[in-house]
Chains A and B, each alone.
Chain A
Amino acid sequence: MSMNTVKIKVNGSLIVKEIESRWLLSDFLRDKLGLTGTHVGCEHGVCGACTVLIDGEPVRSCLMLAVQADGLEVETVESLAGDDGSLHPIQKAFADNHALQCGFCTPGFLMSVKNFMENHPDLPTDEEIREAISGNLCRCTGYSNIIKAVKEAYVL
C-alpha cells in the first residue's frame, strides 16, 4: 500500500493526514474529514455533484486524487454559510427560488456558481448562466429556477 502524507488547507484549516495514494479527493473529504456536503454522484466526472474549489477554481473532486491536492487550498460547500448558520447569498437565492428539490446536486451547483460570480461581476445573461452550470446535472428542477436563483444572488 502506497501511503503519502498530505497537507491540504480545507475551508481555511490546515489538515495534515497520511492517506493511501489511490484515495479520491471526494472520498477524502467525506470519509476522512466528515465533510459530507460534497456529494458523490457518478464518480467519473459526468454529473458535477462533487464540484469543489481548488485554489478558487471549480474542479470535480472525484477526478482528482487527494494526494494531488497536497499543498493546495480546497473549498467545499461547508465553507459557504456563516459561523452563525446564516446562509450565503447564493444559498439563500437557491432556497428562495425553489432552485432545488431533492438537493443532491445542489452543493456542486453552489460551488460552480460561486466561482462563476467571482469571475463575472456583472449580471450575466440566461445563456451565460446556462453555460456556466452546464457541467452540473440536476434531475429535479429543469434548471429554470436555478437560473432565476443565480440572477437573484447577484442582487442579494
Chain B
Amino acid sequence: MKPPKFSYLRPNNLLEALEMLAEYGDEAKIMSGGQSLIPLLNMRLSTPAYIIDIGRVEELKGIRDEEDTIVIGGMTRHADVEKSPLIREKCPLLSEGIRWVGHNQIRTRGTIGGSIAHADPSAELPCMLTALRGEIVIVSNEEEMIFSPQEFFLSYLLTSLEPNQLVKEIRFPKIKKGSGYAFEEVARRHGDFALVEVAAVIELNTDGTIADAKIALGGANSVPFIPEETEGFLIGKLPDDSILKEAAVLQLDELDPEGDIHGSKEYRRYLSGVLLERALYKAVERAREGVIA
C-alpha cells in the first residue's frame, strides 16, 4: 500500500501553519503524528491534495500547569503525556487511560490533538476529556475558540472543526482532592480499538456521600456519551454495592453501539454496564483512600 500523491507542506510555526490552512484548507489535511492519517492514505481512503505537517510547530507542543487545569498542546505526543509526573499527580485518569492507546510504537508518534480531531468514537482521549468536562481550544488565522466536548464531537469521525481551523490545545481539569477516578476498557487484544470504555470521576463528601459524579462512555455511541441521569442519581447517595449496581445499568437503553465481528451490539451494551459498575467501584474506592492529595 502506498499513499496517493500530495504536496507536502511543513510550517515552522503556528502562524505559518494557519496561513497555509487558510490558503489550502479545503484541499488540505493536517498531519500531526500521522498514526490515523497515514493508514487512511495507505488505504487510499483519504486523498488530500496537500498535507500540512505540523510536526515542527513548537508552539503546539508541551504540557502546562494552569491553576486547576492541565493544558496540553495539540502536537504533544501520547508518550509525553504517559511519562508526565504532573499529569500522574494531578490528573492520573489520563495517565491510566493513555496506556490503552495503541501500542508504544503508536504512542511515540500519535498526538493528543490528533486523537481529538480524528474523533474516533472508541478512542480513549475523547472519552476521558468528556468525563473530565475538559475543553478544546481551536484556532484559525482569524480567531481562537473554545469548545466543550459535547459541542466539538458531532458524530463518527466528525467534529465542528472548519477547514481553516486546527486543534491548538486541550484543557484537562485536574482531579479535585477527595475524588477518585477510574478508566475501564475491554479490547480484543491489548492495543486494539476498544469494544467499549468508561471513564469516571467521583467526588465524595466528608460524610461519605457522593458530591459529584462525572462519567463518559466511549465506543457505545457515535460520540462519547455522558449518562446525565446516572450522574444525577448518584449525587447525594451513599455509594454502597446496591446503589452502584443500580446506577451502572440505569441508561443502558440509551447506548447504541455498532456491532461487528469483534462483538455484537447486545454484547457491547451489556459490557458497558459491567465496565461502568467496575469503574464506579474503583473510583469510589480511590476517593475513600484519598489518592488525590
Contacts A22-B41, A65-B8 known; list 8 others, CB within 8 Å.
A1-B5, A21-B7, A24-B3, A43-B42, A59-B105, A60-B106, A135-B103, A135-B191
Inter-subunit contact B4/A59 (CB<8 Å): no
Inter-subunit contact A21/B51 (CB<8 Å): yes
User: Any chain B CB within 8 A of the CB of A141?
Assistant: no
Q: Which of B32-40, B136-144, B233-241, B252-260 forms part of the interface with chain A?
A: B32-40
Inter-subunit contact A51/B105 (CB<8 Å): yes
Inter-subunit contact B6/A48 (CB<8 Å): no
Interchain residue pairs with CB less than 8 A apart (16): A1-B5, A20-B5, A21-B7, A22-B41, A24-B42, A44-B39, A45-B35, A48-B103, A54-B108, A57-B79, A57-B108, A60-B106, A63-B38, A64-B34, A68-B55, A135-B191
User: Any chain A CB within 8 A of the CB of B53?
Assistant: yes
User: Any chain A CB within 8 A of the CB of B102?
Assistant: yes
Distance in angstroms between the alpha carbons of A1 and B8 in the assembled complex: 10
Q: How far is the CB of A66 from chain B (nearest CB, A)?
A: 10
Which A residues are in CB contact (< 8 Å) with B104?
58, 112, 115, 132, 134-135
Interface residues of A, CB < 8 Å — how many? 30
Query: Binding site of B, secondary structure by majority: helix, strand, loop or mixed?
Result: loop
Q: How far is the CB of A74 from chain B (nearest CB, A)?
A: 13
Q: How far is the CB of B8 from chain A (nearest CB, A)?
A: 3
Which residue on chain B has the smallest CB distance to residue A51? B105
Which B residues are in CB contact (< 8 Å) with A45?
35, 38-39, 106
Which B residues are in CB contact (< 8 Å) with A4?
8
Residue in B10, B43, B191 whose beta carbon sits within 8 Å of that of A134 in the complex: B191
Inter-subunit contact A63/B8 (CB<8 Å): no
User: Any chain B CB within 8 A of the CB of A86?
Assistant: no
User: Any chain B CB within 8 A of the CB of A131?
Assistant: yes
Interface residues of B, CB < 8 Å — how many? 31
User: Any chain A CB within 8 A of the CB of B188?
Assistant: no
Distance in angstroms between the alpha carbons of A4 and B7 in the assembled complex: 10
Distance in angstroms between the alpha carbons of A149 and B13 in the assembled complex: 45
Which B residues are in CB contact (< 8 Å) with A75?
none
Interface residues of B (CB under 8 A from A): 1-8, 10, 31, 34-35, 38-39, 41-43, 51, 53, 55, 79, 102-106, 108-109, 189-191
Q: How far is the CB of A29 from chain B (nearest CB, A)?
A: 14
Cβ < 8 Å to B, chain A residues 58-113: 58-60, 62-65, 67-68, 112
Distance in angstroms between the alpha carbons of A51 and B106 in the assembled complex: 10
Residue in B2, B6, B34, B105 whose beta carbon sits within 8 Å of that of A68 in the complex: B34
Residue in B6, B34, B53, B55 whose beta carbon sits within 8 Å of that of A22 in the complex: B6
- With A44-B42, A57-B79, A63-B34: A135-B106 Cβ-Cβ less than 8 Å: yes
Distance in angstroms between the alpha carbons of A63 and B31 in the assembled complex: 12
Inter-subunit contact B38/A64 (CB<8 Å): yes
Which residue on chain B has the smallest CB distance to residue A131? B190
Which A residues are in CB contact (< 8 Å) with B43?
44
Q: How far is the CB of A6 from chain B (nearest CB, A)?
A: 10
Cβ < 8 Å to B, chain A residues 5-29: 20-22, 24, 27
User: Any chain B CB within 8 A of the CB of A2?
Assistant: yes
Which A residues are in CB contact (< 8 Å) with B42?
24, 43-44, 62
Inter-subunit contact A24/B2 (CB<8 Å): yes
Which B residues are in CB contact (< 8 Å) with A67?
8, 10, 53
Distance in angstroms between the alpha carbons of A24 and B105 in the assembled complex: 16
Distance in angstroms between the alpha carbons of A51 and B105 in the assembled complex: 8
Which A residues are in CB contact (< 8 Å) with B6?
2, 21-22
Q: Contact flags (1/0) for A128-145 with B, using CB distance below 8 Å?
A: 000110110000000000
Q: How far is the CB of B193 from chain A (nearest CB, A)?
A: 11
